[in-house]
C-alpha cells in the first residue's frame, strides 16, 4: 500500500444525494437532484474564484443526518476536523459559500 497526497489542499465537501427525496419540489427552483445541483453550484463557484484546487466537492450516499426539507453535507479539513451541516440546497447557497471560503482561507 502506498500513501498518496490529496489533490486538494484544504478539505473536502461531501454532499448527500439521498436528501432530495425529503425536499419538496415546491421549495426548489431547479429541477433534478438537489444534492447534485448543490454540488454543481459549489464546484462552479470555487472554479470561478480560483479556489477549486483547495477544496474537493463530491456527492455521497446518506450521511445519516436526515431532516425534512434540508440538505445534509459534511466538510472534512485535511487536518482531520469534520463538521456536518444542514442547509436549504438553494436558499442557503451564498451563506454556505461564505462559510466554506472562510474554512479554506490561508
pLDDT tens for the chain, residues 1 to 106: 999 888 889 999 999 999 989 999 999 999 999 999 999 999 999 999 999 999 999 999 999 999 999 999 999 999 999 999 999 999 999 999 999 999 998 6
pTM greater than the 0.85 cutoff? yes
Contact in structure between 41 and 96 (CB atoms under 8 Å): no
Hey, where are the domains in the chain?
Answer: 7-75
Amino acid at each position: 500500500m502506498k500513501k498518496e497526497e490529496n489533490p486538494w489542499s484544504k478539505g473536502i465537501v461531501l454532499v448527500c444525494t439521498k436528501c432530495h427525496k425529503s425536499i419538496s419540489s415546491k421549495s426548489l427552483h431547479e429541477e433534478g437532484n438537489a444534492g447534485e445541483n448543490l454540488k454543481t453550484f459549489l464546484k462552479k463557484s470555487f472554479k470561478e474564484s480560483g479556489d477549486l484546487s483547495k477544496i474537493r466537492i463530491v456527492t455521497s450516499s446518506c450521511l445519516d443526518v436526515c431532516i425534512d426539507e434540508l440538505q445534509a453535507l459534511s466538510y472534512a479539513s485535511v487536518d482531520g476536523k469534520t463538521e456536518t451541516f444542514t442547509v436549504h440546497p438553494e436558499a442557503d447557497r451564498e451563506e454556505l459559500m461564505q462559510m466554506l471560503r472562510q474554512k479554506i482561507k490561508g
